Structure 1
Amino acid sequence: MNIKELIKNLIYDDDYSPMTLKELEIYLKADKYTKSAIKDIIDELVKENKIRISNKKRLMPLTEDEINLIGKISIASGGYGFFISNNKDFDDVYISRDKLKDAHNNDKVRIKIIREKQISKNAEGEVVDIIERANEELIGTYQANKKFGFVICDDKSHPDDIYIDKKNSLGAKNGDKVVVEIISYPKSGNPEGKIIEIIGGKNDKNIDVLSIVRQKKIPTEFSKQTKKEILYIDNQVNPKEFEGRTDLSNLFTVTIDGRDSKDFDDAISIEKNGDNYDLYVHIADVSHYVKRHTALDDDAYERGNSTYLYNIVIPMLPEKLSNGICSLNPGQIRLTVTAKMTIDKKGKVIDNVFYESYIESDKRLVYDDVNNFLEGDDDVYDDDLLKEKLGLFNELYKILRKSREKRGSIDFNFEESQIDVSESGEVLNIEALERGPGNKMIEEFMLIANETVASLFAYMDFPFIYRIHEKPSEEKLDGFKRALNAMGYNIKGNDLHPKDFQNILKEVEGKKEEKIVNMLMLRTMKKAKYANYSEMHFGLSTKFYTHFTSPIRRYPDLIVHRILKYFIENRLNKLNQTSLESNLEEAADHLSITERRSEDAERAVEDLMKCKYMTRFIGEVFEGRISSITDFGMFIELENTVEGLFMYKFSDHRYDFIEDSLKAFDVDTKKHYTIGQEVSIRVVNVDLVKREIDFYLEDEDEIIS
């Protein structure tokens, strides 16, 4: 234990009597050399808000309330904010614009509560102290004058334009997209900054998407050392690498992916075994090429995962690996890690074996064709063996799906957005996309493989990385129940099981509000994350789950492969157990963060693409459904999955928000609006910077007699 931890533990000990700094030095028997170090440590602990100094100069532990009220500010585009406590179990606190005390996004602050939490409403607070400025990098557009300029931030949570002295402009031109670092916050006037990077000109191709990538701090360049290491990786598998591996190249094996996919990290095989099925899930052995403690591994870990932004992909691994030697291309021998699962007629895995293997994929299938075949178009393929295997795959898929449904796994049925984007960034079309039976079949096989691997290590109680999903919070659950009640549905009880949610989805299946209920339920759920401990995955209703099936695009899968290979090679021992225990918690936290970072970027780009597409329809009328009702307006989703906002304040009519039933009431026409209701809207405005779409409610003028 270092001296900093020693001092902190001492101050937080139940038997601690508050000391002054001098008394602490005497207690620690500090000599003249260590007194200075102890003072520095105390200063650090105070700055980090780990301890406080009382009015009588005594070193004090923080109370639970004091700890809870220290955290970061997250500013919304409306100018208000939410306080996020350092204590993860402490609920977020709403901070109105006039109570922010000039706090900016991600600033570390101390707050006080001015109104306690109420049903369905966050507590309200006020910033009392800005402990530390985030000093984060901001993205914006440079507006140049003769001797100075301003950066107008893309992120509207930062309300002020940033003053740039000409000497700090880095030679940026008017309209350039830039990265600015704030260097001072004067008591009055705009913050001052310096430009540290020019992303590109305002007319450069995909500059809007690249700005989002830079804002989210997603690495886009591989290190020089990684590029050197890649040169030493062969383009073809060397036969010497087959040694010690199981030859599965004679199994009939296929990949099934999207038509435009280029990296194939999973392949499947199947054989009938009496009344049972032998399912083989072959996963690219990325860990064979990406060794620990290499630059290639460091870059992959830093990215955490690949990020998909329609016409731009930021891969976790260099293309030579992701699209080349690791990709399970048809007709080419590839190194794999294989999970062979024997599954009975009830969908239970009754035996499993894992191999370091090599395969040769026979067919590269695409979802569209497989979906058509499984839906009855027998003419899609003329290969009898392929048809036979697809028939077996389909039989097993239905068994597994039924088994998962029986245990209560929640299977959402909502439409995804199919957004077609040209290479230059033009949005060609947007429409709703439903998953076909082929997509669901592959998903089912990957789920059972992930569960099987997770269960193996959970029962061995060996250090491992899991994918966990906690149950919804009471607050979110209460909001979901009220939304359901507003639509005429009811969900009882507080301690809900996944099956309760599944039953609601069955109840609304095929009805006009099905899509809205699915979306509301998804918003109610907590986000899944990675952890170094096993815990139930609520959404899947399974005790143990991990990610094993996509090591080309997810780093957690790469960790799982390395541990699994220890098991296959009978190399699990105390040494690597100790090493793993010390690293997995940090890795799980980091990889959960990188996943959220990519999801945030993907969501922002999706919103941007939808806005760009809808600019051509300003003034036109569409049909949609109300997806959410608030005290300031109604969100309405169109058939093509685009969502916009109708704000009451821009209407000539007066509206009341009926909170108990989540309804909006037009005072002038006496008309009620409910979640899931069909309405006609007109597109009135699109803001590409805020990535927001404004609607006008055409139904307003229909007076109820």
Structure 2
Amino acid sequence: MKHRRFHRSKQNTPTSRPGARAPRPTAPTAKAASGPAAVAAPVVEGVLQRKPRFGFVLSETPGRPDLFVAGPSLNLAMNGDRVRARVTRAGGRPEGEILLVLERAHSTVVGTYQPARGAGRPLLRPEDNGAPVEVTDLNGLAPADDDLCVVKITRWPAAGTAPAGTLLEILGRRDDPAADLKFLLRKHGIADVFPSEVEREAASFGDDVPPDAWAGRRSFFDVPVFTIDGADAKDFDDAVSLEKRPQGWRLGVHIADVSHYVREGRPLDEEARRRSTSVYLSGAVVPMLPFPLSDNLCSLRPHVPRLTLTCLMDLDEQGRVVHHELHESVIRSARRFTYEEIETLLQGQAAIDVSGPVRGAVLEMGRLARTLRERRAARGSLDFDFPEPYIVVDDRGWPVDARRRERGESHRLIEEFMLLANETVAQSMSSAPFLYRVHEKPDPAKMEALEKTLRAVGVVVPTGLHDGKPDALQKVLAMVKGKPVEPVVNMMILRSLKQAVYAPKNAGHFGLASRAYTHFTSPIRRYPDLLVHRLVKERLGGDLNPGRQEVWKARLGAWTADASARERVAVEAEREFLDLKRAQLMTRRVGETFDAVITGVTSFGMFVQPTEVFVEGLVPVAGLADDYYIYDELRSQLRGRRTGQTYRLGQKVRVRLAAANTEKRQLDFALETPPRGPLKKR
């Protein structure tokens, strides 16, 4: 993707950085429940992810589901707050109520400005439908009605008292692409400007890697090393090399040595840890590291020396790693390939001018990647083939198309090599304090619900699915491969699995069927990978002594929890921005009709996805005027009481776009010429 850069003028930067945590409240901000029931009920703590009419307390325990909180039970908590909640209903989807705000997430809130009416004060109406904030000081600014604004909180909400604050920033009108982008960043506490001391430190390294920085490193200058990325990528974390040997292959995965520049405790490090991840928003990137590092010194650009950490693996003909080495290294990438170029080489096309050795290496990489994929599948690893949604935007940031980015063999090639390197590094560090990427087994209740839904869409449920056995899930994926119901079933399975998180203790990775897994291959855009690099380098240098091990043990718990939380914030921001751009795109197509597939069925309607454009919206059940429809949860379908007409997952329908709401980021569809009579049983 072509990334726009976020660097606002320092003079226009709010005095309080987005994402900065506010002081802890001195008194409870929500009334705690009392009585025997409250004492006996389980209590959980976590970060609140607030939506317009409900919220979730995000679990901080791997494998424990998030806690759903209905609107009236949110009390005075705001989006991102760390809260204590009481569980009011356990089970597959636990529910609860907020008892106490432990820590306010942000000192600012974003929303829509409303001028004073009558004797009242101006208000900021938060985007998540939280309590309106009284704007007690306009701070010399002149917002217009309905402007998107940022307010700095000066009085927190309490029983009988509304929150209040000072106007900090006018973001602009809602129909301005630059304003809606900044709006979402402020909402989620994602900083789009680096502190000056961080910029200075990043600039202090210069533009080139000096030869004295290579000292003591293993050189791969004589090895054909190259990168494979998207056509408009700029931050190249990884490069690969491959040598065919009589008994197998020697695979090199060379990763940018970000830790050489980002030193522990320095301003660059503190800022990277706060951000924890880069955020990608439809043609724009909010980087974890300043561009002089992410796009230059750390990026493995072609024909220039770059510092790396190399995982060198010897594999036999069956794809087993028989020997591996980790090295601090230096490379000079011979070429920057795009996925499309590698795809043509793998297909045997001669349209690209490359040397014989490089062409041979690419073809061998294709063979090795297939071997690795087959080996991974044999042990039970799951492979979801989801198309990646992406929005095409114009120079202003306005959406012009919503497309699917399909995975080709070139994508799978790089995925296999990165997966193998991550596994190899994790297994090599098993005796030391370490940071793992863990994915626990699915909850039996979720598997039971999945079984029912699969039967409802006509999928034969294999033995072992109830127990969450990987081979049973693999069989389901294979059964629906290439069928219209495939994307629906894939998503159903994915939603039935637990979320992968970072953890200091190894619990394996269920989805990959891996005994030990980590994130080693993307330190430019993920802080956990940077921590893994530091641990590897301390181990290689003999510095991971008992004292240092204790230091790492003391820190890893908090660091992994923070990284998991920031990852979820980034994913939520990316999802919201995608939904916003889809809604903006479709405002020009209201009234048009589309062929679509039902992707979800609920008591309030059914979600549909047009085949022509990669968006999703709701057909409200209230709009099905030909009958009174009853939701059959067991079969995941809506059924007409009088006609017997049914609507179920994977069914093809013809729909008309009735409305595109950019404020709520929602699309509403209506059925066009609904099918007559009940559908035949399969």
| Interval of TM-score (by shorter of Structure 1 and Structure 2) | 0.7 to 0.9
How far does the alpha carbon of each residue in 1:363-409 deviate from its partner, in whole angstroms, 9 at most, with x for none?
Answer: 11000111122133233335322211111111111111111111110
Contact kept, 8 Å, 1:464 with 1:532, in 2: the verdict is yes
How far does the alpha carbon of each residue in 1:483-529 deviate from its partner, in whole angstroms, 9 at most, with x for none?
Answer: 11101221444322222211110111111111111111111122111
In the alignment, what sits opposite 2:669? 695
Alignment counterpart, residue 635 of structure 1, candidates 607, 616, 624? 607
Distance in 2 of aligned mates of 1:198 and 1:46: 29
Contact kept, 8 Å, 2:488 with 2:650, in 1: the verdict is yes
In the alignment, what sits opposite 2:195? 223
Alignment counterpart, residue 583 of structure 1, candidates 544, 548, 555? 555
Contact kept, 8 Å, 1:551 with 1:558, in 2: the verdict is yes
In the alignment, what sits opposite 1:484? 454
Matched, 1:201 2:172: yes
Secondary structure of 1:386 counterpart:
helix
Secondary structure of 1:607 counterpart:
helix
Contact kept, 8 Å, 2:62 with 2:501, in 1: the verdict is no
Tell me: CA distance 1:383–1:100, structure 2 relative to 1, closer, same or farther (3 Å).
closer
Contact kept, 8 Å, 1:75 with 1:81, in 2: the verdict is yes
Alignment counterpart, residue 390 of structure 2, candidates 418, 423, 442? 418
Distance in 1 of aligned mates of 2:203 and 2:177: 30
In the alignment, what sits opposite 1:346? 318
Tell me: CA distance 1:212–1:47, structure 2 relative to 1, closer, same or farther (3 Å).
closer
How far does the alpha carbon of each residue in 1:592-621 deviate from its partner, in whole angstroms, 9 at most, with x for none?
Answer: 111111111111111111111111111111
Pairwise CA distance, 1:421? 1.5
In the alignment, what sits opposite 1:153? 126
Tell me: CA distance 1:619–1:253, structure 2 relative to 1, closer, same or farther (3 Å).
same
Contact kept, 8 Å, 1:149 with 1:166, in 2: the verdict is no
Alignment counterpart, residue 677 of structure 1, candidates 651, 663, 678? 651
Distance in 1 of aligned mates of 2:59 and 2:562: 19
Distance in 2 of aligned mates of 1:579 and 1:145: 54
Tell me: CA distance 1:252–1:425, structure 2 relative to 1, closer, same or farther (3 Å).
same
Percent same amino acid among aligned pairs? 33
Pairwise CA distance, 1:476? 2.5
Distance in 1 of aligned mates of 2:113 and 2:450: 43
Contact kept, 8 Å, 1:656 with 1:666, in 2: the verdict is yes
Secondary structure of 1:219 counterpart:
coil
Pairwise CA distance, 1:68? 2.4
For residues 266-277 of structure 1, what are the structure 2 equivalents within 5 Å?
266-277=238-249
Pairwise CA distance, 1:677? 0.8
In the alignment, what sits opposite 1:40? none
Alignment counterpart, residue 40 of structure 2, candidates 44, 54, 65? 65
Contact kept, 8 Å, 1:516 with 1:676, in 2: the verdict is yes
Pairwise CA distance, 1:659? 1.4
Alignment counterpart, residue 661 of structure 1, candidates 623, 635, 639? 635
Tell me: CA distance 1:513–1:89, structure 2 relative to 1, closer, same or farther (3 Å).
closer
Contact kept, 8 Å, 2:438 with 2:517, in 1: the verdict is yes
Pairwise CA distance, 1:531? 0.7
Contact kept, 8 Å, 2:42 with 2:87, in 1: the verdict is no
Tell me: CA distance 1:614–1:63, structure 2 relative to 1, closer, same or farther (3 Å).
closer
Secondary structure of 2:381 counterpart:
coil
For residues 552-563 of structure 1, what are the structure 2 equivalents within 5 Å?
552-563=524-535
Alignment counterpart, residue 573 of structure 1, candidates 542, 545, 568? 545
Tell me: CA distance 1:107–1:292, structure 2 relative to 1, closer, same or farther (3 Å).
closer
Distance in 2 of aligned mates of 1:376 and 1:634: 45
Tell me: CA distance 1:549–1:650, structure 2 relative to 1, closer, same or farther (3 Å).
same
Contact kept, 8 Å, 2:67 with 2:87, in 1: the verdict is no
Pairwise CA distance, 1:187? 6.5
Point out the more displaced range, 134-143 or 668-677.
Answer: 134-143
For residues 178-327 of structure 1, what are the structure 2 equivalents within 5 Å?
178-180=149-151, 181=153, 183=155, 185=157, 191-202=162-173, 204-327=176-299
Tell me: CA distance 1:109–1:251, structure 2 relative to 1, closer, same or farther (3 Å).
closer
Secondary structure of 2:280 counterpart:
strand
Which amino acid is 2:500 matched to? Answer: A
For residues 378-527 of structure 1, what are the structure 2 equivalents within 5 Å?
378-458=350-430, 461-489=431-459, 490-493=461-464, 494-527=466-499
Pairwise CA distance, 1:200? 1.8
Distance in 1 of aligned mates of 2:56 and 2:205: 48
Alignment counterpart, residue 649 of structure 1, candidates 613, 622, 631? 622
In the alignment, what sits opposite 2:594? 622
Secondary structure of 1:370 counterpart:
helix
Pairwise CA distance, 1:436? 0.6
How far does the alpha carbon of each residue in 1:38-68 deviate from its partner, in whole angstroms, 9 at most, with x for none?
Answer: xxxxxx999699x99999xxxxxx9973442
Tell me: CA distance 1:68–1:446, structure 2 relative to 1, closer, same or farther (3 Å).
same
Distance in 2 of aligned mates of 1:533 and 1:186: 40
In the alignment, what sits opposite 2:143? 172
Distance in 1 of aligned mates of 2:417 and 2:62: 34
Q: With CA pairs under 8 Å and 6+ residues apart, which has the higher RCO, 1 or 2?
A: 2
Pairwise CA distance, 1:703? 4.6
Pairwise CA distance, 1:236? 1.1
In the alignment, what sits opposite 1:539? 511
Distance in 2 of aligned mates of 1:142 and 1:546: 45
Pairwise CA distance, 1:422? 2.3
In the alignment, what sits opposite 2:7? none
Contact kept, 8 Å, 1:68 with 1:86, in 2: the verdict is no
Which amino acid is 1:471 matched to? Answer: K
Distance in 2 of aligned mates of 1:546 and 1:514: 29
In the alignment, what sits opposite 1:594? 566
Distance in 1 of aligned mates of 2:61 and 2:530: 31
Distance in 2 of aligned mates of 1:355 and 1:292: 20
Distance in 2 of aligned mates of 1:358 and 1:643: 46
Pairwise CA distance, 1:173? 3.7
What RMSD in Å do the two structures reach over aligned CA positions? 3.1
Contact kept, 8 Å, 2:444 with 2:468, in 1: the verdict is no
Pairwise CA distance, 1:414? 1.8
Tell me: CA distance 1:131–1:305, structure 2 relative to 1, closer, same or farther (3 Å).
closer
Unmatched 5+ residue regions in structure 1? 1-43, 56-61
Distance in 1 of aligned mates of 2:136 and 2:618: 39
Which amino acid is 1:175 matched to? Answer: D
Contact kept, 8 Å, 1:311 with 1:422, in 2: the verdict is no
Contact kept, 8 Å, 1:72 with 1:107, in 2: the verdict is yes
Distance in 2 of aligned mates of 1:455 and 1:70: 32
Contact kept, 8 Å, 1:70 with 1:108, in 2: the verdict is yes
Distance in 2 of aligned mates of 1:423 and 1:280: 39
Distance in 2 of aligned mates of 1:135 and 1:169: 26
Distance in 2 of aligned mates of 1:142 and 1:320: 37
Contact kept, 8 Å, 2:214 with 2:330, in 1: the verdict is yes
Which amino acid is 1:633 matched to? Answer: G
How far does the alpha carbon of each residue in 1:291-322 deviate from its partner, in whole angstroms, 9 at most, with x for none?
Answer: 11110111111110111112321111111111
Contact kept, 8 Å, 1:68 with 1:87, in 2: the verdict is no
Q: How many residues align?
A: 645
How far does the alpha carbon of each residue in 1:675-703 deviate from its partner, in whole angstroms, 9 at most, with x for none?
Answer: 11111111101111111111112243635
Tell me: CA distance 1:425–1:233, structure 2 relative to 1, closer, same or farther (3 Å).
same
Secondary structure of 2:242 counterpart:
strand
Which amino acid is 2:656 matched to? Answer: R
Which amino acid is 2:424 matched to? Answer: T
Contact kept, 8 Å, 1:168 with 1:193, in 2: the verdict is no
Distance in 1 of aligned mates of 2:675 and 2:56: 37
Pairwise CA distance, 1:632? 1.0
Pairwise CA distance, 1:267? 0.6
How far does the alpha carbon of each residue in 1:56-88 deviate from its partner, in whole angstroms, 9 at most, with x for none?
Answer: xxxxxx9973442777765543x2455678888
